[in-house]
Each structure stands twice: as structure tokens, then as C-alpha cells.
Amino acid sequence: MGKSKADEKILSYNDVVLRRSDLDILNGPNYLNDRIIEFYFSYLSSLFPSEDIVLVPPSIAFWIKECPDPASLKDFMEPFHFSRRKLILLPINDNSNVCMAEGGSHWSLLAFHRNSNMFVHHDSSGCCMNEYHSKQVCKVTLPYTASNASYEEYPNTPKQVNGYDCGMYVLAIARVICEWYATSSGNQDADTLWFSRLEQVSPSAVSEMRKDILGLIKGLMA
């Protein structure tokens, strides 16, 4: 009975279905799952609609990383039109087991920015826990961007202060980047990018954002 209650569908938002258990994750000090990240990425896509931007769902980013034959990804990648996007955001997870759904223990964010010809990896762990996984996604994604972009680990990414908020930092940084892109009106300095705005991403702001996302979902349910 408890399991069926947890699996109860509570919201369909674009192509994302949230369940009762997702509310429980947001209610407590818990590690975010794929569905919550996919939901918020979909929400950001609606909040900042642009043909320039694509926020890639976690399941897609995972398959880009773990597909045993990267050459076979062409048809799979085509719908995302990476070659014409100016900003691509990909959530990175350290799970390497394709047989384990909802696996892994750490999230980070990889951002591609065409005007600066760069992939930037933001890892809130403080020790680049996901560097290997991020570089793998970059390596596979790069040919589809029609660029020769370089890769950078951004050292001043805001750091989490606990063992469960990595996914929240991904969402908070993704929002900062989308807001920066939407408000920069094309005046995007390739040297500074969105980096100065990352000061907004503090432990207290991330804690409030968790509550805000919970409130957002409840509001959409009403």
C-alpha cells in the first residue's frame, strides 16, 4: 500500500511525470532524482523559451555518456539540434551502470557556450568528483556541436556544504546561466560569461530553492 502511494502520479508537466515520492524527496534533506531535475529543466525551458538554448534531460545525458557505441548516437542526437544551439546544459551523474536506474551518488552540470567556444563544468563537490564523467559527455557531444570547443573545470563553482544538495546546485546554477543568457542581450563577454552571477548560489539560497520548487509543484497541482 505504501509503495503504491509513493508511486501515485501527482503531476504531468510537459513530458515529465512526477510522483508522490518526488515530493518526499524535496520535503527532506535528500539527494535529487532524475525526475525532479528533468522537471525543473523543463520548467526553465518554459521560463526562458529560446531556440538558442537546450536543457538536456538526465536520461539523455546519461545515455550520451554510457552508450557502448557512440557512433550509433547520430539519430538519437538529431532531435536536439546541438549544431545550431548557442547554449547547451547537460546534467552529469557519476552512475556508470546502465542496468541501474536512478543510480549514482553525485550530480554536476556541464555547459556548452558557442560564442566562447567552450564547455564549462560546474561541480559543487569541491574536488571535481565528476570530472571523468563530464569529460566523457563532452567528448561524445563535441562533434554534434559543429565546433572545436575547449573544456574547462571552473574552479570557483559554489560548493555544497552537505552530502545531498549536489542536484540542487545543478538546478540553481542552470537557472543562473539561463537568466544570464536571457538578460545579456547578446552582449556576452566570452571571458567572464555567467561566472560573476554564481555568487547568488549560496547554501541558504539553495535551501530556499528546494522549498520554492516544492511550492512550484504544489501550485501546478492545484
- The residues annotated as belonging to the active site are 106, 123, 166
Distance CA 37, CA 25 (A): 12
Residues 6+ apart with CB under 8 A from 120: 110, 111, 112, 113, 152, 154, 193
Q: Is 100 exposed, middle or buried (0-12, 13-18, 19+ CB in 10 A)?
A: exposed
DSSP string of 101-128? TT--S-EEEEEEETTTTEEEEE-TTSS-
Q: How far is CA 161 from the centre of its chain?
A: 19
Distance CA 71, CA 181 (A): 31
Strands 53-55 and 118-122: unpaired
Distance CA 70, CA 53 (A): 23
Contact call for residues 59 and 34 (beta carbons, < 8 A): yes
Contact call for residues 121 and 92 (beta carbons, < 8 A): yes
